[in-house]
Structure 1
Amino acid sequence: MSHNKITSKSGARFYQAYDESLSLWPVAYDTFHVSTSFGQTHIIASGPKDAPPLILLHGALFSSVMWYPNIAEWSSRYRTYAIDIIGDKNKSMPEKPCNTRSDYAGWLSEVFDCLGLEKGHVAGLSLGGLHAVNFVMEAPERVERAVIMSPAEAFIPFHPDFYKYSMGLAQPDGVEAFLQWMMADRFDLHPAFEKQFQAGIMWKNPERGLKPKENGFPYVFSDQELKSVTVPMMLMTGEYEVVFDQELALRRAAALVPHIETEMVKGAGHVLTMEQPEYVNKRVLAFLGE
């Protein structure tokens, strides 16, 4: 299957919007696909090739391009690999579905193998935060340190409003309503990035879309699972989080996960990497360097 084979007009529109929004990336980068048993995984890599690796896992419908406000600083110290999560709207090309949490961890392990990485730091936001927690559970020997930001479930269930607004995304004004709910008047997405987000929503593709499954995602980990974490972990949530009750999430994480660092980021909501990049960039580097 050729990397360029996109079957629909809406798919082609999305690819174009992805490329346009990637012009926001402030540093040199390589893009390439690696081949896993679940399909071709698209990666944006930056930073010195001999620096320690930092794997970045994006939020749902945001793609790896979402890291553009963070990448200059992080790639000055790490070889960063922003990985397009397979099965979401991005440039990875699924060939068979990831149905379970073990499938997703297996997929990510294969990506590590393809990149020649025995282990690395992992940072994820929202859906990517859930992936990072899951990977820590399933393959702890491969994770040096984990930064979990605004995770989708993982510690506590979504607020019911999340389903209301996300179900409405494809309606006229649905994107506007969703972003207004999530970011209020604190923050506006860059127009090029918002165009990509909208193009992803309009891209009707049965292979790309997360359908919750019993042992798949989204998922809330049990007390026992959280107590078993052996990897140093930091959990960050935004002061204005609406997707879940962040105080409850921070409390549960602090009570159960051994030696976890927890932090509420002032002046930010769900997408804290975009809303407060200066603070988050430094805080992440400080944690990874401990």
Structure 2
Amino acid sequence: MIIRGFSTDAGASTFTNLWSHGGWFPNGANGFILSFQMVVFAFVGIELVGLTAGETEDPERVIPKAINNIPIRIIIFYIGALLVIMSIYPWNSINPAASPFVQVFTAVGIAAAAGIVNFVVLTSAASACNSAVFSTSRMIYSLAREKNAPKSMTKLTSHKVPANALFFSTAVILITVILNYIMPEGVFTLVTSVSTVCFIFIWGITVLAHMKYRKTRPELAAKSKFKMPLYPVANYAILIFLAFVLVVLALAEDTRVALFITPLWFVGVVIIYYIRKSRIERKNQTEELSE
């Protein structure tokens, strides 16, 4: 469509549409900055690539290949899609209340455009949900083996799948269904914002743990066949970016609430930790006295 100069109701399709309608940030950079909350949420779960190391037969070959494919997929499916869409329809001709993909397919003459895009969205959501259930069930199973979760969560099926942990992870997803009925207008922003804050913490801890590992175990780091590039500059750059996203969350009223709700989760986790710790200490003391 772009190469042939396909005409739409907004004019001819051409790459010049990317910069000929007010240039970059025609309405200022505010919208671009505020979009980082949703952009970061879109990458929630990207660390699952490392989590699957325990499920693969050849992690030294598979994991580096999978990680290196991530930026390629981002360039093609995110940046590439945006370049194509806005070359066909300039930014000021796209309806923000509808899918730009539907708009393009409709212009081509595909009557079932909305149905096709909805099908793709649903399958993508199902795929993301499947990844989330996989990761959380394995994490709960690991916690249970370390006695940080109920023992029943260690139960495995004949196919070595942590069944109870899987059922529990699936049940938790139903909370979002309940929230959708209680607050249908703001539930998506609330859930995505809280998830963003939680994963900023997870990613930050991961980066700090990597720095600690490289500092305390240099001999093991030297043997690694797949080292993080630009260490430690990249680590500090990541931490600065994560701090920037937290500031962005504080700027918008609908995302700011996540900064107040999420700490309550961490407070609850800390309280549970100390309760469990005190129980273990009392149990150890009782066992010592009985001996």
Using the size of structure 2 for normalisation, the TM-score is 0.26
Larger radius of gyration: 2
Using the size of structure 1 for normalisation, the TM-score is 0.26
Q: Per residue, is there more helix in 1 or in 2?
A: 2
